[in-house]
Structure 1
Amino acid sequence: MLERLNFIEAKYEELSIKISDPSIMSNQKEWQKLCKEHSDLEVIVNAFRDYKKVEEDLEFNKEMLGSEDDKELREMAQEEIKALTERKEELSMELKLLLLPKDPNDDKNVFVEIRAGAGGEEAALFAANLFRMYTKYAETKRWKVELMSTNETDIGGFKEVVFMIKGDGAYSKLKYESGVHRVQRVPDTESSGRIHTSTATVAVLPEVADVDIEINANDIRVDVFRASGHGGQSVNTTDSAVRITHLPTGLVVSCQDEKSQLKNKEKAMKVLRARLFEIAEAERLAGIAEDRKSQVGTGDRSERIRTYNYPQGRMTDHRIGLTLYRLESFLNGDIDEAIDALITADQAEKMKAMGNTEDI
């Protein structure tokens, strides 16, 4: 680990010289690339330099403790050693986390797809609850939410809702939400007071740039139709809704929330690109499935990840055994505690897999 950190610091210093070189600065594309690389290494290098400074101070105080006769100075040295030792441990852990492989999608915007599962109308209402939970969470982060497509029911639920969340680190936080969410509660339509169990499926996909996934125009069929609201009520008098079928995979994406056919097509293409990227990633990761298994699950949308129990007012995340007895605030978007716990568990698994648990 120390050898790797020394290499990173040397690379950082080399980049510092390069980005100050006028001949390189004249090539804006190359210069920006080097600046990005320099910036990415800066956090690690600063933490490593702090670590080395703490080590020096620690060694100095240990020497003073062994050679100093003054009682007061010895006590001061002991206090300094205790504080510096704690700081050294903190920086060691920080560096281990910084050296973990970074998910290239972490900084991207995301598409979130929520679909009602088992449970009919109650499942659709639960899907609407999840949609509200994620939009409220996005508000707390000051992220922007953009609706892509909806399929509403007569009583305010969603058979399906697809939306985009734009914001720094959106994927890094929300990627753990993919999977089956289960709710246990007494539906409003239930007269006997019997608890029902319903499900909804959540898929979180990173936004994909055009260059990441190329779609051949001959591989898609675009159909236009008249948009309609729930219950069949017409909400548009023109054929502005768009349905795109990707012929090689059979994937179908439709969008009707915009009045413009062009805007609906643009949105549908974005969602299609994200879904094709997900398929490509799943195929790539299948070959290294054993290496990526972790406590927080595989991110497979068929995996049951969480239960929301209304009678007991609790939320249980089955992947890490976390139970919170504050269901109302959780469904109001206060989900950071669960997300932070999932990130910590994921990091611990990755560190274990890398053998990255020894001290520097």
Structure 2
Amino acid sequence: MLDKLEAIKERFEDVGQLIIQPDAMSDMGKYTKLTKEYKELERVVAVYEMYKLVLENIDSTKALLDKEKDPDFREMAKVELDELKEKQIQMEEEIRQLLIPKDPNDSKDCILEIRAGTGGDEAAIFAGDLFRMYERFCEKQGLQLTVLDLTFGSAGGYKEIISTVSGVDAYGRLKYESGVHRVQRVPATETQGRVHTSAATVAVLPEMEEVEVEIDMNEVRKDTYCSSGPGGQSVNTTYSAVRLTHEPTGLVVTCQDQKSQIKNFEKALKVLRSRIYEIELAKHNETVGAQRKSMVGSGDRSDKIRTYNYPQSRVTDHRINKTVYNLPDVMEGSIEDFISALRLAENAEKMKMGGMEEN
């Protein structure tokens, strides 16, 4: 571990020199990546320096115990040594957490897609409830949510709603929400008071840049049409809404939130790029092997991840067996506890996998 930390310190010093070079800002893309890397390494190096100091103090205290004869002084030194060893254990755990490889996509903006699943009208209403939950969560976290395209349900809610979420670590905060969300409650349309089970799927995709996912525009068909609102009413009379069809994959993306066709085209292209990335990532995960795929952070939209039980005011996340009995708060966007627990679980999986690879 010390060798790894020393290598990180050397890289930290190298990056520090690179960002102060006279021509460092000539390439802003490269400069931004370097400054971001510098900040990430800075935290690890700061803990490493404190850790080295603790080790030095342990060695000096041990040396003192070997030489010191005074009983009272030896007792004080023993107490100090115990405290230092406890501090060493705590810092080693902190360092292991810091050395866990981060998902490079965590800092990106993301695409949030919610679709009604099984359950008819009730599923669409539940999809609307989930969207409101994420809307409240984004407000609390200082993230900006922008709707790109939506299809209303006949009894309320949405058959489908697609949004972008931008802000600090937008994807890193929402990525664990991908999968099937299940609701158990008495639908408004139920006349006999029976509890029904419905579902909606959530997909969270990192927003990819053009240099990260290349698209051959000769393979993309672009159609334009008039934007429409609730009930099919016309929002504008110009052909500003955009539909993109990626012929090799059959993916279709629409965007109609802007009055400008150019802006809608740009946003639709971002969504298409992210969906193509998701397909390529799924292929990669299959190639790498299931044993390296974290069940916590897999993001597979076919996985049943969470159940919202209204009669019991219960929310259960099936990936980590975490249950809370504050459903109203959760539906108002209080999902931070789930996200924190999922992040810890994924880090524990990564640490375990790292240990297996070292053996």
TM-score higher than 0.5: yes
Change (3 A) 1:64 1:100: same
Correspondence for 2:131: 131
- The 8 Å contact of residues 285 and 293 in structure 2, kept in 1 or not, is answered as no
Structural mapping, 1:140-151, within 5 Å: 140-151=140-151
Inter-partner Cα distance in structure 2 for 1:337 and 1:196? 27
Determine whether 1:102 maps to 2:102.
Answer: yes
Correspondence for 1:46: 46
Determine whether 1:165 maps to 2:180.
Answer: no
Inter-partner Cα distance in structure 2 for 1:86 and 1:300? 40
More divergent stretch after superposition (268-277 vs 58-67): 58-67
- The 8 Å contact of residues 105 and 206 in structure 1, kept in 2 or not, is answered as yes
Structural mapping, 1:68-217, within 5 Å: 68=68, 73-74=73-74, 76-217=76-217
Alpha-carbon RMSD across the aligned residues, in angstroms, is 2.4
- The 8 Å contact of residues 150 and 257 in structure 1, kept in 2 or not, is answered as no
Correspondence for 1:327: 327
- State the SS of the aligned residue for 1:287: helix
Taking only the aligned residue pairs, the percentage that are identical comes to 50
- The 8 Å contact of residues 148 and 164 in structure 1, kept in 2 or not, is answered as yes
- The 8 Å contact of residues 154 and 230 in structure 1, kept in 2 or not, is answered as no
- The 8 Å contact of residues 151 and 160 in structure 2, kept in 1 or not, is answered as yes
More divergent stretch after superposition (30-39 vs 110-119): 30-39
1:303 partner amino acid: D
- The 8 Å contact of residues 297 and 346 in structure 2, kept in 1 or not, is answered as no
Deviation at 1:356, TM superposition (A): 7.4
- The 8 Å contact of residues 175 and 297 in structure 2, kept in 1 or not, is answered as no
2:139 partner amino acid: E
Change (3 A) 1:203 1:234: same
2:335 partner amino acid: I
Inter-partner Cα distance in structure 2 for 1:277 and 1:76? 60
> What's the TM-score once normalised by structure 1's chain length?
0.91
Deviation at 1:140, TM superposition (A): 1.4
- The 8 Å contact of residues 148 and 257 in structure 1, kept in 2 or not, is answered as yes
Change (3 A) 1:194 1:55: same
- The 8 Å contact of residues 68 and 74 in structure 2, kept in 1 or not, is answered as yes
Structural mapping, 1:173-322, within 5 Å: 173-296=173-296, 298-322=298-322
- The 8 Å contact of residues 111 and 207 in structure 2, kept in 1 or not, is answered as yes
- The 8 Å contact of residues 295 and 345 in structure 1, kept in 2 or not, is answered as no
1:104 partner amino acid: P
Deviation at 1:335, TM superposition (A): 0.7
Deviation at 1:16, TM superposition (A): 3.9
Deviation at 1:128, TM superposition (A): 0.8
Deviation at 1:28, TM superposition (A): 5.4
Inter-partner Cα distance in structure 1 for 2:205 and 2:174? 9
Correspondence for 1:352: 352
Change (3 A) 1:73 1:147: farther
Unaligned runs of 5+ in 1: none
User: What count of residue pairs does the alignment treat as equivalent?
Assistant: 357
- State the SS of the aligned residue for 1:191: coil
- The 8 Å contact of residues 228 and 235 in structure 1, kept in 2 or not, is answered as yes
Structural mapping, 1:5-84, within 5 Å: 5-20=5-20, 25=24, 34-65=34-65, 67-68=67-68, 73-74=73-74, 76-84=76-84
Deviation at 1:134, TM superposition (A): 1.0
Unaligned runs of 5+ in 2: none
